[in-house]
Amino acid sequence: MVVSRPDIAFAIGVLSQFIQNPGPAHWQALKQVIVYLGATKGLWLTFGRQSKTLVQGFCDADWAGQKRRHSISGYLYHFGHGAISWSSKKQLIIALSSTEAEYIAQTHATKEAIWLQAFLDEICRPLNRPMMINCNNQGVIALAKDNKFHSQTKHIDLRYHFIWEAVDDKKINVSYIPTDENVSDILTKALPRVKFQHFVEMLGMRVEGKKGI
């Protein structure tokens, strides 16, 4: 999952929460993951094909979807059409709204974006524009670009507010994307089969030897 299979990141993240005290349900879920990996062992991450944006990110959160109401943050970054960095993690605090949950997820995505910018500057070439992060929550986009909602968000830990500075410094740009095209959704929750397969293709995963996805 860490190296080459972002498509199982959410499942592994949830199962990892029960390592110390697993039950029969967790064992059955683990076997399903193993069966899935066996059936899709021909999938490879690919990085070819042209793209207008060298690197772009996707960010999402599943608000209060866990048993104790912690949200799941998910983000990933594409290099061309292939995923190069991804994360699916339970948030440490309980978000009071879907916008807050998405805002916290956006913060983690922004930190990764800044690191990727520095990394690419060293090994490739400096990016000539802010790194794009796509999300499906208009409230988060408004918060990232303007602190006019401060009265509703002042309870949020200050460490999550550095997005304003990153946007103001033109290190990142936050853009809206419809939920059905937000590939990071695969990192935050269980999805119907058709939607899951659609996002697996969007990750840049294809069967070895086939042209395209």
**How many C-beta atoms lie closer than 10 Å to residue 37's C-beta?**
14
Q: pLDDT tens digit string along 6-64?
A: 999 999 999 998 988 899 999 999 999 999 999 999 998 887 665 656 788 999 999 87
Domain borders along the chain are: 48-203
- Rounded to 5 degrees, φ, ψ at 153 are -125, 5
Phi, psi for residue 152 in degrees, rounded to 5: -90, -10
Identity at 55, one-letter amino acid code: V
Q: Which residue has the tokens 């956006």?
A: 106
Helices assigned H by DSSP within 40-74: none
The gap between the terminal CA atoms of the chain, to the nearest Å, is 20
Q: Which residues pair with 43 in a beta bridge?
A: 207
Cβ(21)–Cβ(148) below 8 Å: no
Which pTM does this prediction carry?
0.84
pLDDT of amino acid 29: 94
Count helices and strands (H / E) in the chain.
7, 7
State CA 91 to chain mean position distance.
13
Closest CA to 110 of 186, 169, 71, 167: 167
Residue pair 133/177 in contact (Cβ under 8 Å)? The answer is no
User: What are the tens digits of pLDDT across the range 16-30?
Assistant: 989 888 999 999 999
Query: 48-203, which class in CATH?
Result: alpha beta
What is the reported pLDDT for 50?
59
